[in-house]
Chain A
């Protein structure tokens, strides 16, 4: 059965304390893995798309990497405004254009 899990469920960091969020997946035929940021009461905001193992994408303090079984979202020197829920989603060959979302990681960055 296709699954997407994320860990940790919640993470509290001090401002400037770097860390990584994990997204593990088991799907048949990965077409793409996506990272989104969601603020409370708002829709998800697109961050990255990764297509193949070894691929990396960066944007400001965020860097996403992909292996054959998981993806990491590295946050370098986070700021309080990075506090949000980070969602990963996968698109697989047998789902067409549908996404399977993970449960998310709630990140809190304290000043």
Chain B
């Protein structure tokens, strides 16, 4: 149980284009999902908290107009990197908390490697 998927696993795009990453909870409903960014050999940096049916909460220093988050259902959140640039190249990971239990653990997706040329 508590499986989270991400799609795509890898994406390469040209500078200036937009890229959408999907995060799905496969066997549970998640009222809250998180988006993280991870640079090589570094830990996870929280970008934003995504709540179903409401606007995402962004961490300080994260541009909300550049990283668009939509949590349209209890099983799907999307992160769109708009007008991507090479410095946006990174490993993006989502996580979800099962919403109908008292669980507090976050369960993570497998990550998406974004490379912007």
Shortest C-beta distance, A106 to chain B (Å), equals 8
Most buried by B among A43, A97, A104: A43
Contact (Cβ within 8 A) B43 A104: yes
CB-defined contacts of A21 to chain B, threshold 8 Å: none
B75 adjacent to chain A (CB < 8 Å): no
Contact (Cβ within 8 A) B113 A43: no
Contact (Cβ within 8 A) B44 A46: no
SS class of chain B's interface: helix, strand, loop or mixed? strand
User: Which of B2, B44, B97 interacts with A97 by CB under 8 Å?
Assistant: B97
CB-defined contacts of B49 to chain A, threshold 8 Å: 96-98
Of the candidate stretches A11-19, A31-39, A65-73, the one touching chain B is A31-39
B28 adjacent to chain A (CB < 8 Å): no
Q: Encode contact with B along A53-85: 1 for CB under 8 Å, 0 otherwise.
A: 000000000000000000000000000000000
Contacts A41-B111, A87-B43, A87-B44 given: A99-B106 contact, CB under 8 Å? yes
CB-defined contacts of B104 to chain A, threshold 8 Å: 31-32, 49, 91, 97
Contact (Cβ within 8 A) B34 A98: yes
A8 adjacent to chain B (CB < 8 Å): no
Contacts A97-B49, A102-B43 given: A43-B93 contact, CB under 8 Å? yes
Shortest C-beta distance, B111 to chain A (Å), equals 5
Number of contacting residues on A, CB 8 A?
A: 23
Complex CA–CA separation, A97 to B44 (angstroms): 15
Complex CA–CA separation, A82 to B91 (angstroms): 23
B78 adjacent to chain A (CB < 8 Å): no
Contact (Cβ within 8 A) A44 B113: no
CB-defined contacts of A49 to chain B, threshold 8 Å: 104-105
Contact (Cβ within 8 A) B46 A43: no
Additional 14 contacts, C-beta under 8 A, given A44-B44, A46-B108, A104-B43: A41-B113, A42-B110, A43-B6, A43-B109, A44-B93, A44-B95, A46-B106, A46-B107, A97-B32, A97-B97, A97-B104, A101-B43, A102-B43, A106-B41
A to B CB contacts below 8 Å, 11 in the list: A31-B104, A34-B106, A42-B111, A49-B105, A87-B43, A87-B44, A89-B106, A91-B104, A97-B32, A98-B34, A99-B106
